Amino acid sequence: MVQIAHQRSRGIFSALAAIAIVSAIAGATPVAAQEKVRVALPTKTYYPTIVAETALRQKLFEKEGISAELTVYRGGAEAFEAVAAGAADLTLGSTAIVAAGIRKGVKTKAISGAGLGYNGWFLMVKADSKIKDVSELEGKKVGITSAGSASDILARWTLAEKKAKFTAVPLGGGGLVPNLLSGNVDAIVLYSPLSFKVLQDKSVRTLIDYGTEVPQHLSGVWIAPDKLIDEKPAVIQKINNALFGAMIWLQANRPEAIKIIAEIDEIPPAIAEAELDGNILKLSATGEMKPEWIQRGLDMAKLVGMTDLAPAADIYTDKFKAVPTKR
């Protein structure tokens, strides 16, 4: 089962500070002799936890001849820091965090693609709001989780794409919905499964579905240190097999998948079902990584000031193909 180290956070921009202090990765020994794989998960209520926990419960790691230890961290920056410091062998993060890390001497690569966009993310207003179009947010306040976070990236994408000049207000994940409903902000950028919850209770309306409007790109990749990739490529292949075996299982076993999502995310089955359909089933089932998808991910990160990034060609390897492990 998942070991919870900290509570949720979705910021990625703070990763730059973390990267600066963990450049000792080159000397770390990533995997113990018994082939135990330590997986750092960015947060509990997030799709990589669902995928990795499913692989564990269905004994897919075990069938590949490896054991897996799952630990949930406070956010993507902290999970990446664990990999960089040699405390974990794998995590899920953005292409930008890999690219920024390389510039700081932290040698990791994306080994497979996971998220193909911002499925389950929406720009939302209250159900009774007079705002009917994004253009009407001119001069208004839009809630985000924190500066540099995925919600900040999407808010800035909206500013650039829709030409609406609003003010982004950091509220933290737990503050988004309450501040919207109380009228402290005029709109929020919200993520799943919380977005599906408020949609189901009809307390909000959607202005933008970012999953459909933002161009397809790799918003999430599985990341491993170069040392493990170079010295134990067979282990990387086994990890990929187990993770994508879990994706196939989630797609093929709907009732059980809903039960797992509801249990891990601590949400009602109806919302878990929406999370499955609106997010989990839209994840990559092959791990494919196209150069243009990676470049778009880096371009999105530049919207929040992440400019010192390694080129797309340097941040991933395509030599590992997913051969899903069957239950």
Q: How confident is the model at residue 1 (pLDDT cuts 50, 70, 90)?
A: low
Whether residues 221 and 110 share a domain: the answer is yes
Whether residues 98 and 208 share a domain: the answer is no
**Which of 182, 213, 244 represents a domain boundary (last residue)?**
213
Whether residues 304 and 254 share a domain: the answer is yes
User: Coil, strand, or helix at residue 157?
Assistant: helix
Whether residues 59 and 96 share a domain: the answer is yes
Closest CA to 154 of 185, 199, 196, 124: 124
Calpha distance 280→47 (Å, rounded): 7
Calpha distance 111→103 (Å, rounded): 18
Whether residues 111 and 61 share a domain: the answer is yes
Q: Is the pLDDT of residue 174 over 80?
A: yes
For residue 181, give the amino acid letter. L
Q: What is the pLDDT of residues 91-102, one digit of tens each?
A: 999 999 999 999
Whether residues 295 and 157 share a domain: the answer is no
Are 80 and 315 in contact, with CB atoms under 8 Å apart?
Answer: no
Give the domain range for residue 199.
122-213
The residues, any chain, with a CB within 8 Å of residue 203's CB and separated by 6 or more, are 126, 127, 177, 181
Q: Is the pLDDT of residue 18 over 80?
A: no
Domain assignment present for 320: no
Q: Is the pLDDT of residue 19 over 70?
A: no
CA distances from 212 to 63, 155, 157, 186, 199 (A): 36, 15, 14, 22, 17
Average pLDDT over residues 267-271: 95
Whether residues 174 and 72 share a domain: the answer is no
* Residue spans of beta strands (DSSP E) within 100-233: 108-115, 122-126, 141-144, 167-170, 187-190, 204-209, 220-225
> Is the peptide bond prior to 193 cis by the omega test (within 30 degrees of 0)?
yes
pTM: 0.83
Whether residues 45 and 76 share a domain: the answer is yes
Whether residues 10 and 113 share a domain: the answer is yes
Whether residues 135 and 267 share a domain: the answer is no
What is the number of domains present in the chain? 2
Domain assignment present for 137: yes
Return the pLDDT at 179. 97
Calpha distance 235→232 (Å, rounded): 5
**Which of 188, 213, 238 represents a domain boundary (last residue)?**
213
Whether residues 109 and 251 share a domain: the answer is yes
In CATH, what number is assigned to the domain containing residue 19?
3.40.190.10
Domain assignment present for 324: no
Return the pLDDT at 327. 65
Are 102 and 234 in contact, with CB atoms under 8 Å apart?
Answer: no
Beta strands 3-4 and 204-209: pairing type? unpaired
Q: What is the pLDDT of residues 188-245, one digit of tens each?
A: 999 999 999 999 999 999 999 999 999 889 989 999 999 999 999 999 999 999 999 9
Q: How confident is the model at residue 28 (pLDDT cuts 50, 70, 90)?
A: very low
Whether residues 93 and 238 share a domain: the answer is yes
Higher pLDDT pick, 245 / 13: 245
